[in-house]
Amino acid sequence: MASGFFAILDDIAALMDDVALATKIATRKTAGILGDDLAVNAEKATGFLADRELPILWSITKGSFINKLIIVPIALLLNAFFPVAITFILLLGGCYLAYEGGEKIIDYFGKEKAPKQQATPDGLQATPPVDQEKVKVKSAITTDFILSVEIVIIALGSVAGQPSMIQILTVSVVALLATVGVYGLVALIVRMDDAGYRLIKRSNSTGFLSKLGHVLVGALPVIVRILSVVGTLALLLVAGGIFVHNIHYLHTLFPNLPATLKEFGVGLVVGVVLAGVVAVFKSLRRSSKEG
């Protein structure tokens, strides 16, 4: 009886060792997309009032957990019974990411020409802050869903030759680490200024802690601006990578061009085209309503 019990423990220990090794390999292969995920979500989680940052970030984090609960079992089932569907899902997700990146670029270059938003008679914005929060949270969760699909599929591909149990446990662990790690770092970034103010207050505005506090407070706006640019580039790079790796023609196109440059170029072209088509469609629809 005892020998059977210890044999089970040995089997569990061996399984955990295999899962740990597979998770290490999968995490290394998803490191790039995790970095992009961090940049994109950090950019989306900023720009709120200080007392709303953590509640909104928690809402996005919960949405990310739900995304993983949906994606992981579906990815495992599709990989087992209908693997070709994964490619089509990735391409659709790539179109969405490219559109988001292209829309940001079009908005950036067209913002000076765009008419200013009209205020309501009482001087308030036409869109209530609560609605703005909901829109931004929804956008962040949607983008997280697409990036999570990419992370899960890359992790699944890294353990494709392993037994089913190792595949399930490895992909689940990577998905959990992705959410906890990414949004934990995002929380640290968005609360940098709050930590800086506390250091300044605790040190009575003198000494090393005060200087560190001022650095943190001053660094946050710079980091937010950098993340805005990096997040847009990440969207286009991830989208371009999806297209290049899953469309044979694009994969063989310009073989001497550096992979990163080619992926960014493809993502940029697709994103600007999609965003332009959507912008024209919205304009025509608005004109037809006004007419």
Q: What is the pLDDT of residues 223-246, one digit of tens each?
A: 877 877 887 888 888 889 889 988
Which of 261, 26, 47, 160 minimizes the C-alpha distance to 34? Answer: 26
H helix runs in the chain, sequence order: 2-29, 31-44, 50-81, 84-110, 129-158, 164-190, 192-202, 207-246, 248-252, 259-290
pLDDT of residue 267: 92
Mean pLDDT of the chain: 78
pLDDT of residue 238: 83
Q: What is the mean pLDDT of residues 194-216?
A: 80
Work out the pLDDT band at 124, boundaries 50, 70, 90.
Answer: very low
pLDDT of residue 9: 52
In the structure encoding, which two tokens stand for residue 287, read together?
């004109």
pLDDT of 49 above 70: no
Exposed, middle or buried, 208 (CB in 10 Å: 0-12/13-18/19+)? exposed
Each residue's pLDDT tens digit, 102-123: 988 888 887 654 454 444 444 4
Weakest mean pLDDT among 88-102, 105-119, 215-229, 270-284:
105-119
The answer to whether the pTM exceeds 0.85 is no
Q: Which of 44-58, 155-169, 266-280 has the highest mean pLDDT?
A: 266-280
Q: Do the beta carbons of residue 140 and residue 39 sit within 8 Å? A: no
